[in-house]
Structure 1
Amino acid sequence: MLNFVEISKGCAKVLLLVFNILCILIALCTFGFAVVDIRVLRQYSEEQATGTVTGDVIILAASLLLIGVATLGCVGAGRENVKMLYLYVGFVMIMVILELLIAIYVSVQRFGLQFRVTDWIREDFYRNVTAEEQDQHDDLWNELQITYECCGLNGPEDYVALGHQITLSCCPRAYNARTENARKLLYKSCVESMTYYKDGCEEEILDILRSDADWLLGVAVISFWFEAASIVLAMWVSSHLKNSVQVYRHTVKY
């Protein structure tokens, strides 16, 4: 006859292992996102991105903690160790609270960053720069326009309104050309055929910041449900193992 209790325990162990492996994968993806995001935020001034970078550092630490806790859950389930499973449940409950606080902090910082970046990018685009600052200013906007595939603040018309030529970085093929002659020919063709970037950098950057915030929020929600399910499964497995030990001791005793 089938032992449904043992079968259910085995299924619960497998699901617990699967959920913990998924949590580890999510933590690794989040860790990678935070590393990349820190590099991207360096394009903005330190004053604008300080709080958000701090949020990314906290995300890095939380990702490492989640990997450690999930690994503990896998080991506890694999070895059928009741004490490790109870310890795992306690750590997961703490992680859920920490992740909630981190999600709130990061969301607030991301929302504030959108306003700070908007003010900064508008001021920087239209500000009068000295001859010494010109190269640094051009390098910044070249990097922004190539990275976000945009041109000007609200579009290439901004350069026309200021009486300037559309910058070379608005034409990616010309900007990436290896020789000066090829660069000039490709730039001329780009301007004449109007194949330069049409979207403004302000909206493109804000779209990226919004999508990053939405992605982090989605990860937090998914992690919460995985962790909640893991708590239930770990409690079920540990309770069953504890009962099995008690039954075994009672049988041996009598």
Structure 2
Amino acid sequence: MFVDVNNVSRSCAKTLLLLLNGCCILVALCTFIFAVVDTKILQQYGEDRANGTFTGDIIIIVACMLLICLASFGSVGAMKGDVKILYFYIGFLMIMVILEMMIAIYVSLQRYGLEFRVSEWLREDFFRNTTDDIVHNDLWDNLQITYECCGLNGPDDYEAVRKQISLSCCPRAFRARTTYARQLLYRSCVESSTFYNDGCEDEILYALRSDANWLVGVAITSFWFEAACMLLAMWVANNSRKEVSVYVQSIRY
């Protein structure tokens, strides 16, 4: 019993190419969801400060959709063994890799700039002279509950501006349903110092850096997946073309 090594290797290459395309689609879907969620998170920093980063998220969403379509296109070419589709797939994939590198650089620069803008905005907003500014208080309540932080650099900042520690620094008191329970829990929180101890500036900047690092990691992962897809697609296309050539020559003779 003889085993056709070429057919077996070609089948393995097609299967592996389909798996890699599936991984590319999965990565693109995860990145798509991340970018959509991130656009909503960026709204709390204001349109002026997050404008470039918001644009970067939109570009990422479009790139993810293109990658999903391209991976599906390549999967069809692999299943059919169509040489033309595979060569088109390789060409588009090369263009996609270049675009992703440019997008990664653009997003990284925008994230880096956003850190400075957000840091400056937080310091200016926290220490500005406010008394009963509802918008200001709601903003900091939202930030402190979301990022589990208190003040700009810590709860001592409230003492510096001659204010009581914010109610949102004590999560149990902030979420209490009645005024009486809120007062009791807040008093207990302040007396036992069980409020958040980390400053909001560090927590927010850490979250921004983590997002940037995650996006760079995704870009690097996608690059290796796509590079492997290009090599496999090229190998499958060349073997399919040779098989067609051998078949045509055998018919002629």
Whether the TM-score (by the shorter chain) exceeds 0.5 is: yes
- Specify the alignment match of 2:243 in structure 1: 244
SS at match of 1:152: coil
Which whole-Å CA distance do the structure 1 matches of 2:51 and 2:162 have between them? Answer: 35
Which whole-Å CA distance do the structure 2 matches of 1:79 and 1:187 have between them? Answer: 67
Which whole-Å CA distance do the structure 2 matches of 1:216 and 1:18 have between them? Answer: 22
Give the letter for the 1:183 counterpart. Answer: R
The within-5 A match list for 1:194-205 is: 194-205=193-204
CA positional deviation for 1:130: 6.2
- Specify the alignment match of 2:99 in structure 1: 98
Unaligned runs of 5+ in 1: none
Structure 1 residues 119-171: Cα deviation after superposition (integer angstroms, max 9, x where no partner): 1100000011365xx00000000000011000000000000121111101101
Structure 1 residues 171-195: Cα deviation after superposition (integer angstroms, max 9, x where no partner): 1111111111111111111111111
- Specify the alignment match of 2:136 in structure 1: 137
Which whole-Å CA distance do the structure 2 matches of 1:115 and 1:226 have between them? Answer: 33
Give the letter for the 1:56 counterpart. Answer: D
Which whole-Å CA distance do the structure 2 matches of 1:251 and 1:183 have between them? Answer: 87
Which whole-Å CA distance do the structure 1 matches of 2:137 and 2:39 have between them? Answer: 22
SS at match of 2:180: helix
Structure 1 residues 12-65: Cα deviation after superposition (integer angstroms, max 9, x where no partner): 111100110000000000001101111111111211100000000000000000
- Specify the alignment match of 1:78 in structure 2: 79
The within-5 A match list for 1:21-40 is: 21-40=22-41
TM-score (norm 1): 0.97
Give the letter for the 2:146 counterpart. Answer: T
Residues 1:65 and 2:66 aligned together: yes
The within-5 A match list for 1:207-226 is: 207-226=206-225
Residues 1:113 and 2:124 aligned together: no
- Specify the alignment match of 1:48 in structure 2: 49
Residues 1:8 and 2:1 aligned together: no
Give the letter for the 2:162 counterpart. Answer: G
Which whole-Å CA distance do the structure 2 matches of 1:89 and 1:54 have between them? Answer: 28
Which whole-Å CA distance do the structure 2 matches of 1:192 and 1:3 have between them? Answer: 79
Which whole-Å CA distance do the structure 1 matches of 2:164 and 2:35 have between them? Answer: 37
- Specify the alignment match of 1:165 in structure 2: 164
- Specify the alignment match of 2:190 in structure 1: 191
TM-score (norm 2): 0.98
Equivalenced residue count is 252
Which whole-Å CA distance do the structure 2 matches of 1:171 and 1:41 have between them? Answer: 24
RMSD (CA atoms): 0.9
SS at match of 1:198: coil
- Specify the alignment match of 1:126 in structure 2: 127
Structure 1 residues 217-236: Cα deviation after superposition (integer angstroms, max 9, x where no partner): 00000000000000000000
SS at match of 2:45: coil
CA positional deviation for 1:252: 1.4
Give the letter for the 2:209 counterpart. Answer: R
- Specify the alignment match of 1:19 in structure 2: 20
